[in-house]
C-alpha cells in the first residue's frame, strides 16, 4: 500500500510541475526572452576575454612534476600470530571507522622463506629537494621509507632507480630522507609555509595508486592542526587542505601558486580509507630543518627542558592560585629529576616568553625548544612569586622517548582513601626503595581511588606531598589537617615529589 501511495504522490507532483512549466511558457514574454538572450551573449563575450587561469596550473605542473617521484618500498616484518605491529599497519593497512588515517600504500604479496618473517610491499611519494654530483635527495614520510629493507624510486620521466638508500628518518615528525644515484635530476624549491593563510590556493602532488606526478587542487582549510596521529611524542602542526589526497600521496609535496614546496602530504581523516575532504600536510617551516638535519647527519637532535607543561587556558585555576592573572602562557606542571630544568624551574611557574618571543601555548614552547640546539642556553620569562623574572636554562638533548621519561612510574593497586580519595604513610626505607624515592621523610601516597578527586588531580602511588597551598607538610597527619581546612570548591594546590621529579597538582571539587 505504501509503495502505491508513493507512486500516486510522485505522479501528482510531476503533473503539478509540468503544469507550472507549461504555464511558464505562456507568461514568459518576448521582452523577457530577449533580455535573457542578450545577457547570455554578453556574458559569453566576457568569458572569452578572461585570462586563462588554467595556464597557471599548467605552469605549476611543469615546474613541480619533474621533482615528484614514486617510492616502492619492501619492509620485512615479524610474522606474528596476531597482527602486524602498528607502525606497519599504519603504512600497509587502512584503519577506517572515522579514525585519522595515514594514506596507506597498496598492499603487496607476502614473501616466502623465513617463516618468522614476512615481506610487505607498498608505494608512496616523495619530492627531490637537492641534486648534485650524481646524487639526489628525496624528502618523504617516515611511514613510507622508515624501516625499509629495499626501495625503488620511479622518476617522472619513467626512469627506475633501484637500491635507493634511507639517509635518516624521524618518527616524531613523520619525515624521512632518501638518497638515489642518478643524473639529470631537477629539484623542487622551498616555499615559506608561515605566509600561508586560510583560503590560499594550494596543489598536492604525488603518486596516488601509482600514478606518478598526479596533481590535485584545493585551498588551505585551516592551519596549526593537531590530529593526534603521531602519538604523545609527535610534533603536529599540520596544514589542513581540501585538495584530494589518496593512498600513495604520502610524502608528496604540497605547493603554492609559485610552485614552491610549502608542505609534505601526510595524512587524511576518513571513514572509508579514501579522501573525504580533509587532508593534512607537514608545513615546510617544520619540514625544512628536519630535512637538512637528516640529510647532513642522518639523525635528529632536539633541545630538551625536562618539564611537564599545561596550557594556562586549560588550568586557569591552578595558574590563578599562583597569582597569575593572564589567560595565555604555559604552566609548569612538573620538573623531572636530573633534567636541564632541575633547580632552575619549579612547579607553578608560568612561562610567558622564550628568548623574547611570546609563548601562548604548550605547542609553541615545545616546538621552539625542540628546534634549539642541545647545549644552547635559552632565556625564559617566568611568572613566579607574584612577579615576572628571567630564568636561563642550558638545554639538554631530548631523550629518544621523552614520554617514558616523564611518565614512568612504579604501579600500585588503587584503593579507597581519605577525604579526597587517597591513603598515605610516613615515608620509610621500604617505601623509598619501592617507589625509587630519594627523600628521607614525608607523606607518601600509597593508594588512590580511581574515582576520587585525588585521581582527577593526577595523584598516584609514590607521590610525596611536600606542600598544601604553599604550606610545608611532612606527615600524613599534616596533609589531612591542611586538606580539612581547605576550601575544595575553590581548589587546593599540592606540591609533590616523585621518582621523576617534582609536580604541581590542583585538587578541586565540582
Active-site positions?
A: 143, 174, 250
Q: Tell me which residue of 225, 221, 259 sits closest to 55, measured CA to CA.
A: 259
Question: Three-state SS string across 287-306, please?
Answer: HHHHHHHHHHHCCCCCEECC
CA angle in degrees (0–180, nearest 5) for 394-398-403: 125
3-state secondary structure of 8: helix
Q: Tell me which residue of 357, 355, 368 sits closest to 309, measured CA to CA.
A: 368
3-state secondary structure of 38: helix
Q: What are phi and psi of 166, to 5 degrees?
A: -80, 120
Give me the sign of the Cα torsion angle 346, 347, 353, 354.
Answer: positive
Specify the DSSP element, H or E, that contains 93: none
Q: Tell me which residue of 121, 98, 91 sits closest to 109, measured CA to CA.
A: 121
All three cell numbers of 156, joined, read: 617522472
Question: Cα–Cα distance between 237 and 289 in angstroms, integer?
Answer: 14
Q: What are phi and psi of 185, to 5 degrees?
A: -105, 145
Locate cell 605542473: which residue? Answer: 61
Question: Three-state SS string across 247-277, please?
Answer: CCCCCCEEECCCCCEEEEEEEEECCCCCCCC
Question: Cα–Cα distance between 390 and 401 in angstroms, integer?
Answer: 29
Question: Cα–Cα distance between 286 and 275 in angstroms, integer?
Answer: 24
Burial (CB count <10 Å: 0-12, 13-18, 19+), residue 500: buried
3-state secondary structure of 160: strand
Q: What are phi and psi of 332, to 5 degrees?
A: -75, 115
Question: Cα–Cα distance between 234 and 229 in angstroms, integer?
Answer: 8
C-beta neighbour count of 112 within 10 angstroms: 8
Q: Tell me which residue of 411, 430, 426 sits closest to 479, measured CA to CA.
A: 426
Question: What one-character DSSP code corresponds to residue 104?
Answer: P
Length of the chain: 510
CB 437 within 8 A of CB 446: no
Question: Cα–Cα distance between 386 and 338 in angstroms, integer?
Answer: 27
3-state secondary structure of 34: helix
Amino acid at each position: 500500500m505504501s509503495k502505491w501511495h508513493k507512486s500516486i504522490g510522485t505522479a501528482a507532483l510531476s503533473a503539478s510541475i509540468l503544469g507550472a512549466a507549461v504555464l511558464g511558457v505562456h507568461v514568459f514574454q518576448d521582452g523577457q526572452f530577449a533580455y535573457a538572450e542578450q545577457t547570455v551573449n554578453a556574458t559569453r563575450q566576457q568569458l572569452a576575454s578572461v585570462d586563462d587561469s588554467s595556464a597557471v596550473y599548467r605552469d605549476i605542473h611543469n615546474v613541480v612534476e619533474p621533482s615528484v617521484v614514486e617510492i616502492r618500498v619492501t619492509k620485512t616484518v615479524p610474522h606474528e600470530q596476531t597482527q602486524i605491529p602498528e607502525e606497519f599497519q599504519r603504512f600497509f593497512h587502512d584503519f577506517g571507522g572515522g579514525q585519522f588515517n595515514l594514506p596507506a600504500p597498496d598492499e603487496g604479496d607476502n614473501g616466502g622463506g623465513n617463516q618468522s618473517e614476512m615481506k610487505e610491499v607498498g608505494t608512496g611519494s616523495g619530492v627531490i629537494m637537492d641534486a648534485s654530483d650524481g646524487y639526489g635527495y628525496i624528502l618523504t614520510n617516515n611511514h613510507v621509507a622508515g624501516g625499509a629493507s629495499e626501495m625503488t624510486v620511479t622518476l617522472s620521466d619513467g626512469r627506475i632507480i633501484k637500491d635507493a638508500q634511507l639517509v635518516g628518518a624521524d618518527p616524531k615528525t613523520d619525515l624521512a630522507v632518501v638518497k638515489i644515484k642518478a643524473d639529470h635530476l631537477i629539484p623542487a624549491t622551498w616555499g615559506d609555509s608561515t605566509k600561508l593563510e586560510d583560503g590560499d590556493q594550494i596543489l598536492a602532488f604525488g603518486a596516488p595508486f601509482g600514478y606518478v606526478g598526479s596533481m590535485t587542487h584545493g585551498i588551505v582549510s585551516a592551519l596549526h592542526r593537531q590530529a593526534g596521529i603521531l602519538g604523545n611524542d609527535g610534533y603536529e602542526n599540520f596544514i589542513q587542505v581540501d585538495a584530494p589526497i589518496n593512498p600513495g600521496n604520502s610524502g608528496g609535496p604540497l605547493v603554492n601558486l609559485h610552485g614552491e614546496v610549502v608542505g609534505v602530504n601526510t595524512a587524511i581523516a576518513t571513514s572509508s580509507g579514501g579522501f573525504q575532504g580533509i587532508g593534512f600536510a607537514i608545513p615546510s617551516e617544520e619540514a625544512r630543518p628536519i630535512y637538512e638535519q637528516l640529510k647532513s647527519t642522518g639523525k635528529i637532535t632536539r633541545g630538551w627542558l625536562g618539564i611537564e607543561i599545561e596550557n594556562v587556558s586549560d588550568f586557569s585555576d591552578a595558574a590563578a592560585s599562583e597569582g597569575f592573572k593572564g589567560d595565555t602562557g604555559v604552566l609548569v606542571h612538573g620538573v623531572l629529576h636530573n633534567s636541564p630544568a632541575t633547580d632552575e624551574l619549579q612547579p607553578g611557574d608560568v612561562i610567558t616568553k622564550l628568548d623574547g618571543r611570546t609563548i601562548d601555548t604548550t605547542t609553541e614552547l615545545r616546538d621552539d625548544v625542540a628546534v634549539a640546539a642541545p647545549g644552547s642556553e635559552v632565556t625564559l620569562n617566568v611568572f613566579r612569586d607574584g612577579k615576572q623574572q628571567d630564568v636561563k636554562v642550558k638545554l639538554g638533548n631530548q631523550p629518544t622517548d621523552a614520554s617514558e621519561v616523564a611518565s614512568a612510574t612504579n604501579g600500585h593497586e588503587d584503593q579507597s582513601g581519605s577525604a579526597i580519595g587517597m591513603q598515605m604513610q610516613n615515608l620509610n626505607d621500604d617505601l623509598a626503595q619501592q617507589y625509587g624515592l630519594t627523600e628521607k621523610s614525608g607523606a607518601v601516597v600509597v593508594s588512590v581511588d580511581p574515582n576520587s578527586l585525588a585521581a582527577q588531580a593526577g595523584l598516584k602511588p609514590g607521590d610525596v606531598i611536600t606542600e598544601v597551598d604553599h604550606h610545608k607538610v611532612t606527615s600524613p597527619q599534616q596533609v589531612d589537617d591542611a586538606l580539612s581546612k581547605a576550601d575544595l570548591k575553590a581548589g587546593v594546590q599540592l606540591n609533590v615529589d616523585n621518582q621523576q621529579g617534582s609536580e604541581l597538582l590542583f585538587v578541586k571539587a565540582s
